[in-house]
């Protein structure tokens, strides 16, 4: 037999299978580790992106003043005329707002939202001048008089502001008492709205 002629060693099929299994095992464990790592990275990214809201707040108190007016049934000359009724509910709210962001917040609009059988009724907060007129028209409400919270108020980083708003609903007392829910929306420029619900009972004044 020539020296150049050498017998090839026989390859055991069982050995091949064992080596293949070992290699596949490493691939599987590497895939699992990579999947876990990617999941952790995605979760960390999502958590880091979930910033706390720029503003927080609290409804300190809510007072409702139902109004029922009825005309006398005669005009200025004493001539009989049909009687007319006028029902309204004034809702006075004391609110506290806090800026927990690093940028100034700009209060834009404020609404009172009452949910009735036919849906949500919303009323914008009166401007400060109308807030004062309400107390002039109804002197009995003097104990509720506070500092009106102004639209377009700037709330600086870390600052807390407190003030009162008043909204009016064309509802009867019965309709108001039958409400299903009550909350308040504070619209901030360039930020999501802040919606607050009272955690105390509404007091009738």
Write the pLDDT tens digit of every residue in 101-120: 999 999 999 999 999 999 99
29 and 65 together in one domain? no
Report the number of secondary-structure helices (H) and strands (E) in the chain: 3, 9
180 and 193 together in one domain? yes
**Number of structural domains the chain divides into:** 2
CB burial of residue 192 (10 Å; 0-12, 13-18, 19+): exposed
Domain that holds residue 119: 55-204
Closest CA to 72 of 60, 63, 82: 82
**CA dist list (Å): 144 to 26, 65, 113, 131, 161:** 75, 11, 20, 11, 18
Residue 81 pLDDT level (bands cut at 50, 70, 90): confident
Q: How many residues does the chain have?
A: 205
Residue 5 lies in a domain: no
Contact 189, 79 (CB under 8 A): no
Residue 173 pLDDT level (bands cut at 50, 70, 90): very high
CATH of the domain at 156: 2.60.40
Residue 3 lies in a domain: no
23 and 88 together in one domain? no
Whole-model pTM?
A: 0.72
Residue 172 lies in a domain: yes
19 and 110 together in one domain? no
Taking 80 as the threshold, does the pLDDT of residue 135 lie above it? yes
126 and 97 together in one domain? yes
- Collapsing DSSP to helix, strand or coil, 172 comes out as coil
């Amino acid at each position: 037999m020539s020296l150049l002629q050498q017998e090839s060693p026989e390859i055991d099929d069982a050995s091949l299978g064992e080596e293949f299994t070992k290699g596949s095992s490493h691939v599987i464990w590497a895939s699992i580790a990579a999947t876990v790592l990617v999941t952790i990275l995605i979760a960390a990214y999502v958590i880091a992106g979930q910033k706390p809201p720029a503003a927080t707040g609290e409804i300190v108190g809510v007072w409702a003043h139902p109004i029922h007016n009825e005309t006398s049934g005669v005009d200025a000359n004493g001539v009989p005329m049909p009687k007319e009724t006028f029902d309204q509910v004034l809702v006075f709210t004391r609110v506290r707002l806090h800026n927990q962001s690093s940028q100034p917040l700009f209060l834009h609009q404020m609404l009172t939202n009452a949910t009735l059988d036919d849906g949500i009724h919303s009323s914008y907060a009166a401007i400060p001048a109308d807030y004062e007129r309400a107390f002039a028209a109804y002197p009995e409400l003097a104990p509720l008089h506070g500092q009106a919270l102004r639209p377009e108020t700037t709330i600086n980083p870390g600052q807390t502001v407190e003030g009162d708003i008043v909204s009016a609903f064309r509802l009867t007392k019965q309709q108001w008492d039958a409400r299903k829910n009550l909350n308040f929306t504070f619209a901030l420029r360039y930020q999501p709205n802040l919606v607050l619900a009272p955690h105390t009972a509404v007091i009738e004044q």
